[in-house]
Amino acid sequence: MSAAAAAGTWKLGDLEVNRIGYGAMRLTGNGMMGNSDGAPIDRDVAVGLLHSAFEQGVNHVDTAAFYFSPLRSANELINRALSSWSGNVVVVTKVGPGRDPSGKWLDAVRPDQLRGQVEENLRQLGRDCLDVVNLRAGGPRTASIAEHFGALAELREAGLVRHLGLSAVLPEHVTEAQKIAPVVCVQNSYGLDWRRADESGLVDLCGEQGIAFVPFFAVSGLRREAAAGQEHDARVRSVARAHNATPTQVRLAWTLHRGPHVLAIPGTTNPAHLAENIAAGSLRLTEDEWALLGKPDEGTV
């Protein structure tokens, strides 16, 4: 059994993936909002890193056409890695936000502009059909997504997209989208220090409907795009010591412990951190440890 398979598997529609995946945002050297997170790694090094992830059993990669910097595009690095890889890897991308070539964020994308974004992902990834496309909600959090999701459903019917998902949404958006086309995954910010998806019932709703819940920022938490900083939570440090693990592994294990439908997509450009993240799938928290970590400290969001 591969390292990434230790946490088990889940199906995105008819596509079975290991619950530990890889988030490609950091490959560009920039956070999603354009915040610099260091220089991008060499292209050959990036391909080698992705191949290492695949060799360790990662078969689910998260990306987006708007993950780019002046020198790197996450999609094109993934394309290059997959062109020299014989195994099956599910690529999940996102549409909704848009950036011009300078990196400036564009105004809200209209439903009729989503086809262009899907085609851009197809071109960059070298695909004829995208495995999964997530609609990342834009505008007011409570706004309807029906028109945008409906446009993607039409592209699914046309054969450009295999499955659809959602990102940065509320429970009512999931209900709204499910009336239009099947939703196979939901990506939202979620982790030990950021539990709004619990408070809203979104995590449980996804589990009840057989939808994968895929947290982003599960490790960095309130630091968002920034890499995880020094661990300040004494509870996490205590559990890490008990398992001879790192705080990052404990945070990932806590997320996966939340339910069999919860996946993880940690990103890194460090080979050692990559192996560490993947190995977190084999860490099993005791019920006492789960109870300890499940009690938010004062001020936890």
Residue 11 lies in a domain: no
Q: Which of 176, 163, 206, 154 is nearest to 60 (CA)?
A: 163
Residue 1 lies in a domain: no
Tens-binned pLDDT, residue by residue, of the chain (301 aa): 888 999 999 999 999 999 999 999 999 975 544 444 556 789 999 999 999 999 999 999 999 999 999 889 999 999 999 999 999 999 999 999 989 888 888 877 899 999 999 999 999 999 999 999 999 986 666 789 999 999 999 999 999 999 999 999 999 999 999 999 999 999 999 999 889 899 999 999 999 999 999 999 778 655 444 455 577 789 999 999 999 999 999 999 999 999 999 999 999 999 999 999 999 999 999 999 999 998 544 334 4
Q: At what angle do helices 146-157 and 171-178 cross, to 10 degrees?
A: 40
Q: Which DSSP letter does residue 23 get?
A: E
Residue 120 lies in a domain: yes
Catalytic site includes residue 190 = no
Return the bridge partners of 38, or none: none
Q: Which residue carries 């599910």 as its tokens?
A: 90
Residue 219 lies in a domain: yes
**Residue 31 is part of a domain; what is its CATH number?**
3.20.20.100
Q: Which residue carries 């050297």 as its tokens?
A: 29
Hey, how many other C-beta atoms are within 10 angstroms of the C-beta on 79?
A: 18
Among 10, 67, 149, 190, the one annotated catalytic = 67
Give the amino acid at 276.
E
What is the Cα–Cα distance from 271 to 262, expressed in whole angstroms?
Answer: 24
Residue 61 lies in a domain: yes
Residue 2 lies in a domain: no
What is the Cα–Cα distance from 50 to 204, expressed in whole angstroms?
Answer: 32
What is the Cα–Cα distance from 53 to 216, expressed in whole angstroms?
Answer: 18
Q: Are 56 and 266 in contact (CB under 8 A)?
A: no
Return the bridge partners of 221, or none: none
Residue 4 lies in a domain: no
**Number of domains the chain contains:** 1
Residue 286 lies in a domain: yes
What is the Cα–Cα distance from 204 to 285, expressed in whole angstroms?
Answer: 20
What is the Cα–Cα distance from 41 to 29, expressed in whole angstroms?
Answer: 7
Domain that holds residue 72: 17-293
